[in-house]
Structure 1
Amino acid sequence: MRQIMSIIVVLAAILLAATTVWPPGKWTVGQWTIGRWTIGRWTVGQTVQTTSGAVAGHAASVASDVSEYLGIPYAQPPVGSLRFQPPVRYNGTGGIDGRNFGAGCMTSNISAYDSDFPQELVDKYGITDIGLKVLSSITNPGIRTSEDCLTLNIWTKPQTGERRKAVMIYVHGGSFVLGSSAVPGYNGQFFADEEDIVLVTINYRLTFFGFPGNPLGAQNLGLLDQRLAVEWVRDNIASFGGDPSRITLFGESAGGALVDDYSYAWPEDPIVHGLVPMSGTTRGIGVRNRDIAAEFWFNASSAVGCGDSTAPAQQVYDCMMRAPAEAIISSLVNTINSPVGMPYSPTIDDKIVFGSDSNRSAAEVPMLIGNTDNEVGLFRVFVPQPDSDEFWHYQNQMTFNCPVAARSLASVRDGNPSWRYRWHGVFPNTVLATRPPSGAYHGSEIAVLFGNVDQSVIPNTREEDAIGQYMRGAFAAFAKDPVNGLLRYGSGWPLYAPDEKTLVRIGYGNQTGANLAIGTVYDEGC
């Protein structure tokens, strides 16, 4: 049972106007207005001056009216003396070639299946060709990795629509040990093209390099990276046609948990004006305590020959600063085989990550939060036993649905405009497994949301295209006006109230639009 719980928690994180005044906790629904500005005539791909240097862009590969800027450094490379240190802002005056994604951050294994999924489980669960593509994509195939990885990417279309566009920053998932902003499913060109927003994706340090557990240093480097990336966007996005007073932070799985962590880490100065945790919350995925974090630090230091917890801590630290990155990575435990659910993950430091008993308030900003209907449809294919529907339903509730329900209620009680959704879409080219049907599994909505579903085997259905367009429109409406946008979107999304028909079911019956259900209809056992 303990191993199964670890697998669930691990894989859960795989796939989460400049003059406008936002008075904390004081929301006036129906009276918020958006300003406009002009940044001058815009040429697709034009060079943009930033605090990192002059960034040259280009037309996006398919949406050719969208300007794409890739691999922009927002922090100094965290190498040498900056390894295991908080990120340091990057300032540059030279030119940046924005044609290629930066390297992904260093990764470590999820399981022994990372390179070859067992035929036994393929046969047992009826995993489809599409499903095998999904499972192989988890391990970042073909994406170069490096310690020098702190970059971000921007898609924008200032020549049309609002000249001061809402900004959406996406935080990828990956169990805190995998993922990259270069994953094709996260490409922002269609989002920016269709919804008149600026889309940003970021890299942040992962696994042991992002969450090292170093007793002598900062703990939550990956979360600090995320904060610095948000600061970079605040300071530079106006030059790309973005509105620094309308920034929404959204992410899925581990990325959703990091969005939630962010809301508690900087409640007095969140910078962002909307939060969207998707299939990941601090409560559901959890955090490590300092003792567990230090245990994994010393496990790695011992494995690479730098000493264990009986050696002087400074001596161990100095040695780990010099150890080759590849040697460190090869020493790390496979996440599924770990005795804890998330061996490399946010750690309670009482500075930016806090224990459940801290009673710390989150940032007072609007929230859109949700999860998929059958999150565990992804996880159960990784283990031969147990396979009862009752067992997996319990995992679905405890890791995802109940934590989302609790976080929704907390946001409402704090007086923030709050919406809750549930993803139900199932399409021929998203089916993972057939025995039992995988349904709307963990992460199945992401490529649909971004408009990047792999159609090399099976093309999109008309319903899939329409539902993806509807979901993009809803997220963009929230980003453009986090207080009122969803109230006015389509037939209107009601503010979340647990005992009323306010839970928005997206893709329910593969129909476009908002199908409403009682807010707590899926919350049994919570």
Structure 2
Amino acid sequence: MLNEPCVEVRTERGRVLGRMEPVGGARGGGRAGVAVFRGIPFAKPPFGALRFAAPEPPAAWDGSRPATRFGPPVPQYDRMNPPAAGQEAEGGPEPDCLSVNVWSPGLGATGLPVMVWFHGGAYAFGHSGDPAYDGALLASEGVVVVTFNYRVGMEGFGQIEGAPANRGLLDQLAALRWVRDNIAAFGGDPDRVTAFGESAGAGSIAALLASDAADGLFGRAITQSVPGSYFTPDLAADIADAVARLVGRAPTAEALRTVEPSALVRAAEEVHAERGRRAGRWGVVAHAETLFSPVVDGRLPARTPWDALAAGAARGVGLMAGCNHDEYRLFMAKRREFGRVSAERAAWAMTVFGAEAGGERACIAAFPGLGDEELYERVCSDWLCRVPTLRLLEAAAEAGGRAFGYELRWPAPVLGGLLGACHGLDVPLVLGTLDAPASVALLGPGPSEEAEALSRRMRTAWVRFAATGDPGWPAYDTDGRLTKVFDRRDSVEPDPLGASRVLWGKAGFGVLGLADHRSERRR
């Protein structure tokens, strides 16, 4: 890489020096290289006096700034891929962690579609330097790809007195404004921006769709596995108080500003580990995969995404939304639950996660013939992502927006297929990063021709949607509910989530409040 030719671009804050890099591997197909710029700051480092504050534009610089290395991650701990024993959790006041990365197939071009990737990570971890999020192959298809970091955990989503709520969302807005103001210099069209992301990234995009603050920053959105959790300020504040107490401070910006970020990360993980004992106060959140979610505070966002879209918000934004058939199997694998789910465990899940759908009796009636483990996985997958994604599609379609639905059904080949089409499997397939370490854990070493072919089909659809607003299958409506199914043989099917849709009816997925197992609907 050191011998790759350098390329230079002038941004609003100064010149950046990147490299032309080849598109590697068989998936590159001998295509010309792409221009890559890494670690460009879009906001000042959020530490010191700026800790827990809204992002501020970065300072300008003189000369050419090297842009060949990713910026450092924001403070975090990745519980899905924890460090080795004895290794400290990532954290600490690193410079310029709020940074963007750009892959451009044509610096001399004009008007190329732009795709901005929002990473996932339970609103608690994730960073754009993860090899699974490399944008080179997708960019070689003819789009400018942007990835970026945003604050997560207590730094980004903790409800802290004296600090703006949803600082992670504010970072995302700042990154999108950077794209609007600078992407033309990289060959992209600021009026042809598609926001796309997975899991917490998809939930963030959904929250931005519900906010006027994002108007004009992207014209299309792709949400992959939208989670259903959005919190009231009271619930979020109670969670932040529990974390702050572990470091001996009040949950205020003034009190926490001098606490080492890594200490807050460790405290949040400790609260997460023992969250189950708070079920009487936090309800279903005490059993969920994350302590943090966007806070519906009447501003950013003002309402839940499905309520906002049903009321006509973001009607002019083209939407593509989908989920994976077996979302929850990833978490079952992490907990080694395969073959160990008892009737009692399944009944618990149907009572807790399926409460709004009618509980255990209703879930069993909706899915006749399923065993305990299958019922457990189905209701958890429905609550986690499948039904929230369906609700988003329905809300957009009912309000007259143009929306497209998909489902990934192709099973991950590892563990004898036990993972199925689990949470996160779509990420390497869409980005083409099949050889990244996290991808190999799902796909195995040396991806198969079948995985390669599926990745090509999905990339083609995503790029086509970004370029034209049409991914290549019929739009979703509440009559036919036609949905693209990606599998060994792709198809278009009517209402593939029909059983779950009927089970859930119009229930669930409002704002999760304090001391309540049910969703609180705010309209």
- Residue 57 of structure 1 aligns to a residue whose secondary structure is strand
- The CA deviation string for residues 290-344 of structure 1, in whole angstroms up to 9 with x for no partner, is 1222223323333223247xxxxxxx53231122222222222343543433322
- Residue 388 of structure 2 aligns to a residue whose secondary structure is helix
Aligned: 1:368 with 2:337: no
Distance (whole Å) between structure 1 residues aligned to residue 400 and residue 312 of structure 2: 12
Q: Could you tell me whether the CA contact under 8 Å between 2:37 and 2:101 is conserved in 1?
A: yes
> Using CA pairs below 8 Å that are at least 6 residues apart, which structure has the higher relative contact order?
1
Q: Report the alpha carbon displacement of residue 427 of structure 1 after superposing the two structures with TM.
A: 4.8
Aligned: 1:199 with 2:165: no
Given residue 493 of structure 2, which amino acid in structure 1 is its aligned partner? A
Aligned counterpart for 1:65 among listed residues 33, 39, 42: 33
Q: Which of 351-360 and 464-473 deviates more?
A: 351-360
Q: Report the alpha carbon displacement of residue 501 of structure 1 after superposing the two structures with TM.
A: 6.5
Distance (whole Å) between structure 1 residues aligned to residue 311 and residue 97 of structure 2: 32
Q: Where do residues 32-431 of structure 1 align in structure 2 (5 Å cutoff)?
A: 45-60=6-21, 62-63=23-24, 65-94=33-62, 95-108=64-77, 110=79, 114-115=82-83, 146=94, 148-158=96-106, 163-193=110-140, 195-266=141-212, 269-281=215-227, 284=228, 286-307=229-250, 316-334=252-270, 335=272, 337-338=274-275, 339=278, 340=285, 341=288, 342-356=290-304, 361-364=312-315, 365-383=317-335, 384=337, 385=341, 386=345, 388-428=373-413, 431=414
- The CA deviation string for residues 475-519 of structure 1, in whole angstroms up to 9 with x for no partner, is 11111112xx33xx4xxx11112442621001x2x13xx411113
Distance (whole Å) between structure 2 residues aligned to residue 144 and residue 449 of structure 1: 32
Given residue 8 of structure 2, which amino acid in structure 1 is its aligned partner? T
Aligned: 1:516 with 2:463: no
Distance (whole Å) between structure 2 residues aligned to residue 318 and residue 498 of structure 1: 49
Aligned CA distance change for structure 1 residues 115 and 78 (closer, same or farther; 3 Å) = closer
- The CA deviation string for residues 365-394 of structure 1, in whole angstroms up to 9 with x for no partner, is 110000011111112124444362112111
Aligned to 2:521: none
Distance (whole Å) between structure 1 residues aligned to residue 150 and residue 202 of structure 2: 14
Aligned CA distance change for structure 1 residues 381 and 464 (closer, same or farther; 3 Å) = closer
Q: Could you tell me whether the CA contact under 8 Å between 1:74 and 1:232 is conserved in 2?
A: yes
Given residue 515 of structure 1, which amino acid in structure 2 is its aligned partner? S
Q: Which of 149-158 and 210-219 deviates more?
A: 210-219
Question: What is the total number of aligned residue pairs between the two structures?
Answer: 435
Aligned CA distance change for structure 1 residues 317 and 222 (closer, same or farther; 3 Å) = closer
Q: Could you tell me whether the CA contact under 8 Å between 2:412 and 2:421 is conserved in 1?
A: no
Distance (whole Å) between structure 2 residues aligned to residue 97 and residue 453 of structure 1: 28
Q: Could you tell me whether the CA contact under 8 Å between 2:22 and 2:33 is conserved in 1?
A: no
Unaligned runs of 5+ in 2: 25-31, 279-284, 346-371, 505-523
Given residue 426 of structure 2, which amino acid in structure 1 is its aligned partner? E
Aligned CA distance change for structure 1 residues 247 and 109 (closer, same or farther; 3 Å) = closer
Aligned to 1:444: 425
Q: Report the alpha carbon displacement of residue 406 of structure 1 after superposing the two structures with TM.
A: 1.4
Normalised to the residue count of structure 1, the TM-score between the two structures is: 0.77
Given residue 51 of structure 2, which amino acid in structure 1 is its aligned partner? R
Aligned counterpart for 1:458 among listed residues 435, 445, 448: 445
Given residue 346 of structure 1, which amino acid in structure 2 is its aligned partner? P
Distance (whole Å) between structure 2 residues aligned to residue 141 and residue 477 of structure 1: 40
Distance (whole Å) between structure 2 residues aligned to residue 145 and residue 324 of structure 1: 8
Aligned CA distance change for structure 1 residues 199 and 317 (closer, same or farther; 3 Å) = closer
- Residue 114 of structure 2 aligns to a residue whose secondary structure is strand
Normalised to the residue count of structure 2, the TM-score between the two structures is: 0.77
Greater helix content: 2
- Residue 71 of structure 1 aligns to a residue whose secondary structure is strand
Aligned CA distance change for structure 1 residues 323 and 105 (closer, same or farther; 3 Å) = same
Distance (whole Å) between structure 2 residues aligned to residue 140 and residue 465 of structure 1: 36
Unaligned runs of 5+ in 1: 1-42, 118-138, 309-315
Distance (whole Å) between structure 1 residues aligned to residue 495 and residue 114 of structure 2: 29
Given residue 244 of structure 1, which amino acid in structure 2 is its aligned partner? P
Q: Report the alpha carbon displacement of residue 345 of structure 1 after superposing the two structures with TM.
A: 2.2
Distance (whole Å) between structure 2 residues aligned to residue 444 and residue 268 of structure 1: 28
- Residue 371 of structure 1 aligns to a residue whose secondary structure is strand
